[in-house]
């Protein structure tokens, strides 16, 4: 039952009640009937107007091409919606070092210090001459015996700062004779023809580097019985 049927039913009930109970209900019944008639008329008018407006809207949409006459489910195409994700994804432990390395701007450049292999200190060149000394006879001393039939002066082993003994050579001469020539390991400076009397012996040494000792001279006297 709609509102209009309900109002009409009330009007009929009020009319029957007026007839049954007298004229005291007549004005009220008239008002209700009139109101019901007006409501019915207005409702009918609005129904016609709504139908007419709906028809005009459908014709307008159809003619403009905005809406097809019939829409089937297959004609409806879904348009995907692209959403922008604002939340950053979680990073795995292996990704964090790379991001930190790429995102941090150093305030100063690191200095590269190349590794060097230590090298030994080069040995300075040998510039020191060897040293040679005679311990028999002493300077201004005497030679009183022969060694293997020869008159001999006995020398200490020459010394040198950077050379071995085998790398040192020594030469000598008595009085104004010729130099004996350099020989290594020479400890005895001997002569076959040295007579008794005063004499002088000169001597010096050189090392492997070519450093030559200054000539030294020792004076002595040969005093040998039967010489």
Domain range list for the chain: 3-64, 134-222
> What is the chain's mean pLDDT, rounded?
77
Determine how β-strand 188-191 pairs with β-strand 151-155. Answer: antiparallel
Please, what CATH class does the domain formed by 134-222 belong to?
mainly beta
pTM: 0.48
- Which range (53-57, 68-72, 194-198, 207-211) has the least confidence? 68-72
Nearest CA to 144 out of 178, 194, 180, 187 is that of 194
Q: Which residue has the higher pLDDT, 95 or 30?
A: 30
């Amino acid at each position: 039952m709609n509102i209009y049927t309900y109002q009409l039913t009330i009007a009929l009930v009020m009319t029957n009640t007026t007839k049954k109970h007298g004229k005291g209900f007549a004005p009220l019944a008239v008002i209700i009937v009139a109101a019901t008639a007006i409501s019915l008329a207005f409702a009918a008018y609005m129904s016609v107007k709504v139908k007419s407006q709906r028809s005009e809207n459908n014709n307008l949409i159809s003619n403009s091409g905005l809406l097809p006459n019939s829409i089937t489910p297959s004609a409806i195409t879904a348009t995907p919606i692209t959403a922008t994700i604002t939340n950053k994804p979680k990073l795995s432990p292996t990704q964090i070092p790379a991001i930190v390395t790429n995102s941090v701007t150093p305030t100063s450049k690191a200095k590269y210090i190349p590794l060097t292999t230590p090298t030994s200190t080069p040995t300075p060149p040998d510039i020191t001459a060897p040293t040679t000394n005679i311990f028999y006879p002493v300077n201004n001393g005497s030679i009183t015996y022969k060694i293997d039939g020869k008159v001999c002066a006995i020398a200490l082993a020459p010394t040198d700062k950077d050379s071995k003994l085998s790398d040192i050579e020594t030469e000598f001469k008595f009085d104004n004779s010729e130099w004996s020539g350099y020989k290594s390991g020479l400890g005895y400076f001997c002569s076959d023809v040295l007579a008794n009397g005063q004499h002088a012996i000169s001597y010096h040494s050189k090392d492997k580097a070519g450093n030559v000792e200054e000539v030294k001279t020792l004076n002595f006297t040969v005093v040998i019985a039967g010489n």
